Amino acid sequence: MITCHKRLYGKAIFLLLFFWACSSPQSPAYLEGYLIPVDSISAPQMDEAADSLISVYRSALEDEMQQVIAHSEHTMERGRPEGLLNNFVADLIMETGEKLYNPSDGGSLDFTLLNYGGLRTSIPEGPVTRSRIFELMPFENEMVVITLSPDKTNELFEYLATEGIGMPVSGIRMTIMENGGWKASISGEPFDSNREYRVLTSDYLAGGGDNMVFFLEPENEEYLGMRIRDAIIEYLEKRHSEGDVISSKLDGRITLE
């Protein structure tokens, strides 16, 4: 019996040593390397064949980007509580959206809301090139229609009253009081706290960008299949082909009291 216990004890010790050996960490591995500085001295020689191939496309792209697609009557810059650029971009996006939006229920857009920070440069007086619009709107944001409940629409106006002064809007007029109160009309009618509203915006804002969290619980979401930048370019090209000069004005759509 004692011999049997000794054998079992010996086997247990052997198994413990075996598993310990299998689970013990391996010796660290060492890798050697060296730094390759990237500067004018160590940069590799240009592949002339590849550069010659690329230059054809580069030249064509540069020509396209420098193409004049509009003439502006005056400089348009963004501003607060509204600006010439704010109003111009919001109105043309609203106009484009109304043409694209064709829901099965026959409904229509109520207003447009974009973001102040999305306008990255001004539109100059005189010739406006395609590249300028890429600078103005360098993002790939798409146009989307968000249907908001009455409560979420109220949150939207609360946001504009407290944080969103200067946001580009179209289709609304809003007065913001010094105490944070507000009053608004949509398409000429007073804001109705009992109905839904269809808001044209960007997919960035529809995803809660710029803290617009009221867009995160929509009643409906409909993409129009066009980027905002493309809508601006198409609008300018059309006006230019018709011989029109673009312009904007301040009309009191957002005022402070």
Note the pLDDT of residue 122.
Answer: 98
Note the pLDDT of residue 4.
Answer: 43
Note the pLDDT of residue 34.
Answer: 73
Report the distance separating Cα 197 and Cα 145, nearest Å.
10
Query: What pairing do the DSSP bridges indicate for beta strands 111-113 and 197-202?
Result: parallel
User: Torsions phi, psi of 109, nearest 5?
Assistant: -75, 150
**pTM score over 0.95:** no
**Own/partner long-range contacts of 180-183 (Cβ < 8 Å, ≥24 apart):** 182/157, 182/158
Note the pLDDT of residue 54.
Answer: 72
- Decide: 169 and 256 in contact? Cβ < 8 Å: no
Note the pLDDT of residue 14.
Answer: 47
Note the pLDDT of residue 43.
Answer: 65
Note the pLDDT of residue 87.
Answer: 98
Domains of the chain from N-terminus onward: 60-256 (3.90.780.10)
Residues 6+ apart with CB under 8 A from 163: 211
Note the pLDDT of residue 40.
Answer: 63
Task: List the chain pLDDT tens, one digit each, 257 residues.
Answer: 444 444 444 444 444 444 444 554 556 667 777 777 766 666 667 777 776 667 666 777 788 899 999 999 999 999 999 999 999 999 999 999 999 999 999 999 999 999 999 999 999 999 999 999 999 999 999 999 999 999 999 999 999 999 878 999 999 999 999 988 999 999 999 999 999 999 999 999 999 999 999 999 999 999 999 999 999 999 999 999 999 999 999 999 999 99
